[in-house]
A and B are shown apart, each in its own frame.
Chain A
Amino acid sequence: MLNALLAMAAIAILLGAVLGYAAIKFRVEGNPLVDKIDAVLPQTQCGQCGFPGCKPYATAIAEGVADINLCPPGGDEGIHKLADLLGMEYKPFGGATQPKPKSVAIIDESNCIGCTLCIQACPVDAIVGAAKQMHTIIASECTGCELCVPPCPVDCISMVPIEESIANWKWKYPVYALTASK
Chain B
Amino acid sequence: MRTLYQFHGGIHPPTNKTQSNHTPIKQASLPSKLVIPLHQHVGSSAKPIVEAGQRVLKGELIGAPDGHLSSAVHAPTSGTISAIDMQIVAHPSGIPDLCITLIPDGLDEWIHREPCDDWCALSHTELRHRLRQAGVVGLGGAVFPSDVKLYSHKHKIKTLVLNGAECEPYITCDDLLMRERATEILQGAQIMRALLYAEEVLIGIEDNKPEAIAAMRAAVTEGCHERMEVVAVPTIYPGGGAKQLIRVLTGIEVAAGVRSTNLGVQCFNVATAYSAWRAIGHSEPLISRIVTITGNVGHPQNFEALIGTPMDELVAQAQPLPGTTGYIMGGPMMGVLMPSMQVGVIKATNCIIAAAKNLFPAPAPALPCIRCTRCAEVCPSELQPQELYWFSKAKNLDKAEDYHLFDCIECGACSYVCPSNIPLVQYYRFAKSEIWAQEASQKAADAARERHEFRESRIEREKREKAEKLAAKEKAAIEARALRAETPQAVVSSARPDADPENTMQLKIQLAIDHAKEQAAAIKPKNTEQLTPQQLAEIADIEARRARVREIAKDVTHIDGHS
Q: Using a CB–CB distance below 8 Å, which chain A residues touch chain B? A: 38, 41-45, 53-54, 77, 111, 113, 115, 123-126, 141, 143, 153-154, 164-166, 168-174, 176-180
Known interface pairs A38-B449, A45-B452, A166-B93. Does A171 touch B432 (Cβ–Cβ under 8 Å)?
A: yes
Q: Would you give 26 A-B contacts (Cβ < 8 Å), ordered by A? A: A43-B444, A43-B448, A44-B448, A54-B449, A113-B545, A113-B546, A123-B452, A124-B452, A126-B451, A141-B448, A141-B451, A143-B448, A153-B548, A153-B549, A153-B552, A154-B545, A164-B93, A166-B39, A168-B437, A168-B440, A171-B429, A173-B430, A174-B430, A176-B423, A179-B365, A179-B367
Residues of A with C-beta under 8 A to B430: 170-174
Residues of A with C-beta under 8 A to B542: 113
**B423 & A174 in contact (Cβ 8 Å cutoff):** yes
**B545 & A171 in contact (Cβ 8 Å cutoff):** no
Out of B97, B433, B440, B451, name the residue touching A124 (CB < 8 Å): B451
Q: Does B95 have its Cβ within 8 Å of any Cβ on chain A?
A: yes
Known interface pairs A43-B452, A123-B455, A171-B432. Does A166 touch B437 (Cβ–Cβ under 8 Å)?
A: no
Residues of B with C-beta under 8 A to A141: 447-448, 451
Which residues of B in the span 10-40 have a Cβ within 8 Å of any Cβ on A? 39
Task: For the complex, give the distance between the alpha carbons of A176 and B367 in Å.
Answer: 10
Task: For the complex, give the distance between the alpha carbons of A171 and B408 in Å.
Answer: 15
Query: A154 — nearest CB in chain B belongs to which residue?
Result: B545
Q: Does B434 have its Cβ within 8 Å of any Cβ on chain A?
A: yes
Query: A124 — nearest CB in chain B belongs to which residue?
Result: B451
Residues of A with C-beta under 8 A to B548: 153
Residues of B with C-beta under 8 A to A176: 365-366, 423
Task: For the complex, give the distance between the alpha carbons of A113 and B552 in Å.
Answer: 14
Out of B433, B448, B451, name the residue touching A170 (CB < 8 Å): B433
Out of B93, B366, B440, B546, name the residue touching A178 (CB < 8 Å): B366
Known interface pairs A41-B445, A165-B95. Does A174 touch B427 (Cβ–Cβ under 8 Å)?
A: yes
Min Cβ gap B279→A in Å is 27
Residues of A with C-beta under 8 A to B440: 168
14 additional A-B residue pairs with CB within 8 Å, beyond A172-B430, A173-B395:
A43-B448, A45-B452, A111-B545, A124-B455, A153-B552, A164-B93, A165-B95, A166-B89, A166-B97, A169-B95, A170-B430, A178-B366, A178-B367, A180-B368
Q: Does B441 have its Cβ within 8 Å of any Cβ on chain A?
A: yes
Query: B397 — nearest CB in chain A belongs to which residue?
Result: A77
Residues of A with C-beta under 8 A to B432: 171
Min Cβ gap A98→B in Å is 19
Query: B548 — nearest CB in chain A belongs to which residue?
Result: A153
Residues of B with C-beta under 8 A to A54: 449, 452
Task: For the complex, give the distance between the alpha carbons of A172 and B427 in Å.
Answer: 9
Task: For the complex, give the distance between the alpha carbons of A177 and B365 in Å.
Answer: 8
Which residues of B in the span 378-437 have a Cβ within 8 Å of any Cβ on A? 395, 423, 426-427, 429-430, 432-434, 436-437
Task: For the complex, give the distance between the alpha carbons of A124 and B453 in Å.
Answer: 8
Min Cβ gap B443→A in Å is 11
Query: B369 — nearest CB in chain A belongs to which residue?
Result: A178
Q: Does B149 have its Cβ within 8 Å of any Cβ on chain A?
A: no
**A171 & B455 in contact (Cβ 8 Å cutoff):** no
Residues of B with C-beta under 8 A to A41: 445
Query: A165 — nearest CB in chain B belongs to which residue?
Result: B95
Min Cβ gap A79→B in Å is 14
**A166 & B95 in contact (Cβ 8 Å cutoff):** yes
Task: For the complex, give the distance between the alpha carbons of A123 and B437 in Å.
Answer: 23
Q: Does B454 have its Cβ within 8 Å of any Cβ on chain A?
A: yes
Q: Does B299 have its Cβ within 8 Å of any Cβ on chain A?
A: no
Task: For the complex, give the distance between the alpha carbons of A178 and B393 in Å.
Answer: 12
Task: For the complex, give the distance between the alpha carbons of A106 and B367 in Å.
Answer: 48
Which residues of B in the span 35-56 have a Cβ within 8 Å of any Cβ on A? 39
Out of A42, A111, A154, name the residue touching B441 (CB < 8 Å): A42
Residues of A with C-beta under 8 A to B454: 125
Residues of A with C-beta under 8 A to B549: 113, 115, 153-154
Out of B39, B426, B433, B455, name the residue touching A125 (CB < 8 Å): B455
**B367 & A43 in contact (Cβ 8 Å cutoff):** no
Task: For the complex, give the distance between the alpha carbons of A165 and B438 in Å.
Answer: 16
Query: A174 — nearest CB in chain B belongs to which residue?
Result: B426
Task: For the complex, give the distance between the alpha carbons of A143 and B444 in Å.
Answer: 8
Known interface pairs A113-B549, A125-B455, A153-B552. Does A170 touch B95 (Cβ–Cβ under 8 Å)?
A: no
Out of A124, A166, A171, name the residue touching B448 (CB < 8 Å): A124
Min Cβ gap A142→B in Å is 9
Task: For the complex, give the distance between the alpha carbons of A23 and B366 in Å.
Answer: 56
Residues of B with C-beta under 8 A to A172: 430
Which residues of B in the span 356-385 have a Cβ within 8 Å of any Cβ on A? 365-368
Q: Does B479 have its Cβ within 8 Å of any Cβ on chain A?
A: no
Which residues of B in the span 524-548 have a Cβ within 8 Å of any Cβ on A? 542, 545-546, 548
Query: A84 — nearest CB in chain B belongs to which residue?
Result: B398
**A164 & B95 in contact (Cβ 8 Å cutoff):** yes
Q: Does B91 have its Cβ within 8 Å of any Cβ on chain A?
A: yes
Residues of A with C-beta under 8 A to B436: 170
Q: Does B446 have its Cβ within 8 Å of any Cβ on chain A?
A: yes
Residues of A with C-beta under 8 A to B448: 42-45, 124, 141, 143
Residues of B with C-beta under 8 A to A171: 426, 429-430, 432-433
Task: For the complex, give the distance between the alpha carbons of A54 and B453 in Å.
Answer: 11
Task: For the complex, give the distance between the alpha carbons of A170 and B395 in Å.
Answer: 14
Residues of A with C-beta under 8 A to B365: 176-179
**B436, B445, B549: which has the most chain A beta carbons within 10 Å?**
B445
Residues of A with C-beta under 8 A to B438: 77
Known interface pairs A169-B93, A171-B426, A171-B433. Does A153 touch B545 (Cβ–Cβ under 8 Å)?
A: yes
Task: For the complex, give the distance between the alpha carbons of A126 and B395 in Å.
Answer: 33
Query: B453 — nearest CB in chain A belongs to which residue?
Result: A55
Min Cβ gap A108→B in Å is 12
Task: For the complex, give the distance between the alpha carbons of A164 and B395 in Å.
Answer: 22
Task: For the complex, give the distance between the alpha carbons of A141 and B95 in Å.
Answer: 25
**A53 & B452 in contact (Cβ 8 Å cutoff):** yes
Which residues of B in the span 430-480 have a Cβ within 8 Å of any Cβ on A? 430, 432-434, 436-438, 440-441, 444-449, 451-452, 454-455
